[in-house]
Amino acid sequence: VAVVIIGMVAAVVLIGIVAALEIIGMVAVAVVAAVVVIALVVVGEVVII
């Protein structure tokens, strides 16, 4: 019985870790995209000026 409970807990923890990493990854991608867009706008303004 203990083994089954431990296995279930481990599975839940692993799923939680994977979900957290996916969320962190999406946030990181969004941040990088925002930075790239801002950088392009700044560079574009400098070039135009």
Position 10 scores a pLDDT of: 95
Terminal CA-CA length for the chain: 72
Phi, psi (degrees; rounded to nearest 5) at 34: -60, -45
Extended strands (E) in 1-49:
none
Only one residue has tokens 């995209």, namely 33
H helices of 1-49, in order, are: 2-48
- The structure tokens listed for 6 are 């431990």
Phi, psi (degrees; rounded to nearest 5) at 17: -65, -45
Whole domain around residue 27: which residue ranges? 1-49
Residue-wise pLDDT for 6-42, tens only, equals 999 999 999 999 999 999 999 999 999 999 999 999 9
